[in-house]
Structure 1
């Protein structure tokens, strides 16, 4: 096989990024038209997808992803900022988190089964390798009428995008306890000697993950057990922050003050100075990844989605 054939095969292998991206964008735009208060989710997912297209192994521009100049211009008119900032600002989270929030807004948080079914229907025709989460997590307290808090696994492909978006989530999206726990291990699956921000969830919290395609419950991986004290017999250590649990628990801790107070990290290494040292170490890795080709000239800001009329 010659170089040209190998290049062509590689391009064909990467094309599902583009087709998945367009289908997800199309669906989110359609949903937005019937879901009041959801325009910022479209604004955010456009930026997130355009950013990941830029750093994909085969880069795709917004124009290549959308593939129709009229649609590009219509989106630019309604959502100009993603086109302006996808090469200079970082997304706060991966795209499928925006999809999840859209569906939770549509179905309401108490309708767990409907939320799962909507996600399953969306991803069924999509290639599972690009821009699609494999897992959903649901967290809530063991009290009557407790609010359910959702999260999905990172919808990134490959080490570089994963490292970038996990770091960005630590800095800009996740609750500080969750971010501290993830930064304890990021990026090499080895606990820092000088900082241990891990914590144990109180027994009053139920945190359960489900395979999105088949719907069956799955046990926490060893990484999530290490981060949050979740009980498991699993030995698989996924990249810390990659799973659905961090986002779900972050959303819970942001809303449930009593749970957060019971989840405080207990290590005496958790000092402002040590946390800042851990944060700086994560930032070093993040900046290193951004300098790889194709280069992202990060201006230091994280993209703030806006509700546009």
Structure 2
């Protein structure tokens, strides 16, 4: 947690992201089996000072949902406020952060130090062949939580309330044709474990037609992670939410190259086929883990605005 504190002078910005990270971690600890209470995530003597500084995070972790996982929040901070010059610059900073993440002053680590770190960061952009300008990169990471139920909940929350609906549709409808992006959209991924560029998995190429770098190669085994776990989902979603030209041009194309469904039809299909069942499943899983589910799902809002 020292990462934010040591790299940003604007106190409100630091506190905004810190409070979101704390709340999300406490939420994931609450829905864990067995439960992990907030005090277990903090070094000796720091519980009361943190609680005094970020009281909402300590009160609302079992009633209010996070929209993003801990590493997605860190990545958002790094991109929006440290403004990396290039993907290489950002990745180098993240690699350095990963080596020290959750190391406290006394040398001890948190109870689940690896459970909140993403294994992959993806970034995508639109490359205009007629332009000499460096394209703007949009970033995302894989789900930064451990446990099948935790992932199911966070993927469901993302599909319902965070991702662009085309991404949500692709995640929940892998048998109905991939989402085709405009030809100038490119997508890259980096694996922190191998510290190398990462090819898209079988799941991603079933969900998206886009220029992946490196190109996909058939895997010799089935992936163990669920649809929706990959970093490409968050990255491509952020691109769709920030670039209206790309957003309006996505579609589903048949085997013969014929356009089957456009943007609005994709949104409607998610709403009609998957929205209600996904919402029901998320609520069931939350209730099973003793999260207080009301008539409406409530999301956490940090005390510090930016």
TM-score (structure 2 length as normaliser): 0.80
* Deviation of 1:33 (Å): 4.5
2:117 is aligned to 132
My pick for the range that moved more, 129-138 or 50-59, is 50-59
* Aligned pairs (5 A) from 1:271-290: 272=268, 275-290=271-286
Are the counterparts in 2 of residues 142 and 206 from structure 1 also a CA contact under 8 Å? Answer: yes
* Aligned pairs (5 A) from 1:40-189: 40-69=16-45, 71-125=46-100, 129-143=114-128, 144-185=133-174
> What are structure 1's unaligned runs of at least 5 residues?
1-24, 186-190
1:212 is aligned to 192
My pick for the range that moved more, 60-69 or 162-171, is 60-69
* Deviation of 1:138 (Å): 1.0
* Deviation of 1:210 (Å): 0.8
Q: In structure 2, the residue corresponding to 1:291 is in which secondary structure? A: helix
Aligned length, in residue pairs: 274
CA displacement, residues 166-224 of structure 1 (integer Å, 9 cap, x when unaligned) = 11111222122212222325xxxxx4xxxx48411222011011112443111111111
Q: Alpha carbons of 1:106 and 1:214: their partners in 2 closer, same or farther (altered >3 Å)?
A: farther
Q: Alpha carbons of 1:81 and 1:133: their partners in 2 closer, same or farther (altered >3 Å)?
A: same
1:250 is aligned to 237
* Aligned pairs (5 A) from 1:26-45: 26-33=2-9, 37-45=13-21
* Deviation of 1:36 (Å): 6.6
* Deviation of 1:290 (Å): 1.4
C-alpha RMSD of matched pairs (Å) = 2.5
* Deviation of 1:226 (Å): 1.3
Q: Hey, which of these two has a bigger chunk of strand by percent?
A: 2
Q: Alpha carbons of 1:263 and 1:274: their partners in 2 closer, same or farther (altered >3 Å)?
A: closer
Runs of 4+, deviation exceeding 6 Å:
none
Structure-2 separation of matches of 1:270 and 1:114: 36
Are the counterparts in 2 of residues 138 and 148 from structure 1 also a CA contact under 8 Å? Answer: yes
Q: In structure 1, the residue corresponding to 2:19 is in which secondary structure? A: helix
TM-score (structure 1 length as normaliser): 0.79
Q: In structure 2, the residue corresponding to 1:163 is in which secondary structure? A: helix
1:232 is aligned to 216
Q: Alpha carbons of 1:119 and 1:274: their partners in 2 closer, same or farther (altered >3 Å)?
A: closer
* Deviation of 1:38 (Å): 4.1
